[in-house]
Amino acid sequence: MTVAVVGTGRMGAAMVGRLTGAGHQVVAYNRSRARAEKLGVAVADTPREAVAGADAIVVSLADDAAVGSVYRAADGLAAGLSEGAVVLETSTVHPDTVRALAPLVTRRGATLLDTPVSGSVSVVERGELTVMAGGDAAALERVRPVLDAFAARVFHLGALGNGAVMKLVVNSVVHALNQALSEALVLAEKAGLPREAAYEVLAASAVAAPFVQYKRAAFEHPDDTPVAFMLDLVAKDLALIDDLAGGVGARMDQLAANRAVVAAAIEAGYGTRDLSAIAEYLRR
């Protein structure tokens, strides 16, 4: 299939690698063209040019503002869509954001699916992401070869927007686990246990979620591990979760505590550090 990838940050770039490895013809667009040019695929000057003629479009952007801009601009994604194309919106955004974009896509005879993913860059590289999909089931089936290039599991959750809801649900647990793991590890250290020994026990205990496993190097050796997900983006996610919870009347007491700690860490200069840097902040 011909696949356009719009947004080649850490996740998008890893998806490009998996897609080309699976034999798909890939065209990439990134606001900073140089990042896309490193990937060894055709690079477009605009989102409109990137998606022209593509069977499927994978979008991977940082936030709601970036997503809205890429779709709505005169030279944006929506303006270049071909009839029958399927847009896979993998960005972590508010469900209302993706629902509002649907008319821009459908008027071009294309289909929008929200397909956010769970997993880190290393999980993409292994082709083991989990996809949470909302939207038309038939369109989802048509683009399964694209998703299968980087995902091991695809859950269809019903109507458009439900994938985005589920991603925020998942991230509410991920970010709470990151906070709890950081606090527990610092507690162990301050009580006299070596960091690596404490982490080894945690990774073999009842709390040994996949997150605990794949973040081990980041927590044990924070100075030697590249950033996978910035704390600034954690703050963005937590704000989206808070907004969704407020809108549906869900009580989330832990969320308020997590937001406060993340905000304090960002204020202290940790915003561009990996989310695991919460532990570093708490060690101060």
User: What average pLDDT does range 75-90 have in this prediction?
Assistant: 98
End residue of a domain, out of 120, 136, 159? 159
Strand ranges of the sheet holding 25-29, from the earlier edge strand across to the other edge: 42-43, 25-29, 2-6, 56-59, 86-89, 111-114
Instruction: Tell the residue number behind the tokens 């991920």, with chain if given.
Output: 174
Strand ranges of the sheet holding 117-118, from the earlier edge strand across to the other edge: 117-118, 129-133, 151-156
End residue of a domain, out of 159, 179, 210? 159
One domain, residues 112 and 184: no
One domain, residues 17 and 150: yes
**Average pLDDT over all residues of the chain:** 97
End residue of a domain, out of 125, 159, 193? 159
Query: What angle is formed at CA 150 by the lines to CA 24 and CA 110, rounded to 5 degrees?
Result: 60
Q: What is residue 231's DSSP assignment? A: H
User: What average pLDDT does range 24-44 have in this prediction?
Assistant: 97
Q: For position 242, which CATH number holds?
A: 1.10.1040.10
Q: Which of 14, 68, 16, 10 is nearest to 44 (CA)?
A: 16
23: left (phi over 0), alpha (psi -120 to 50) or beta: left
One domain, residues 128 and 186: no
User: What average pLDDT does range 108-118 have in this prediction?
Assistant: 98
pLDDT for 49: 98
Residue 264's φ and ψ, nearest 5 degrees, are -65, -40
Reported as a single tens digit per residue, the pLDDT across 152-176 is: 999 999 999 999 999 999 999 999 9
pLDDT for 182: 98
One domain, residues 140 and 18: yes
**Per-residue pLDDT for 225 more than 90?**
no
One domain, residues 219 and 256: yes
Among 5-9, 66-70, 95-99, 119-123, the range scoring the smallest mean pLDDT is 119-123
Reported as a single tens digit per residue, the pLDDT across 55-66 is: 999 999 999 999
In percent, the amount of the chain with pLDDT more than 70 equals 100
One domain, residues 142 and 237: no
**Per-residue pLDDT for 88 more than 90?**
yes
Structural domain harbouring 231: 165-283
One domain, residues 95 and 60: yes
Q: What is residue 81's DSSP assignment? A: P
One domain, residues 180 and 151: no
Q: For position 26, which CATH number holds?
A: 3.40.50.720
97: number of CA atoms within 13 Å, CB side? Answer: 25
The Cα 101–Cα 83 span in angstroms is 16
One domain, residues 86 and 170: no
Strand, helix or coil for residue 185: helix
**Predicted TM-score of the model (pTM):** 0.95
**Per-residue pLDDT for 234 more than 90?**
yes
The Cα 69–Cα 136 span in angstroms is 24
Number of domains in the chain: 2
Torsion angle (degrees, nearest 10) of CA 97, 98, 100, 102: 170
Buried b (16+ CB within 10 A) or exposed e, 25-63: ebbbbbbeeebbeebebebbebbbbbbbebbbbbbbbbb
One domain, residues 131 and 191: no
pLDDT for 92: 98
One domain, residues 117 and 10: yes
pLDDT for 97: 98
SS (H, E, C) 148-184: CCCEEEEEECCCCCHHHHHHHHHHHHHHHHHHHHHHH
One domain, residues 7 and 144: yes
**Per-residue pLDDT for 193 more than 90?**
yes
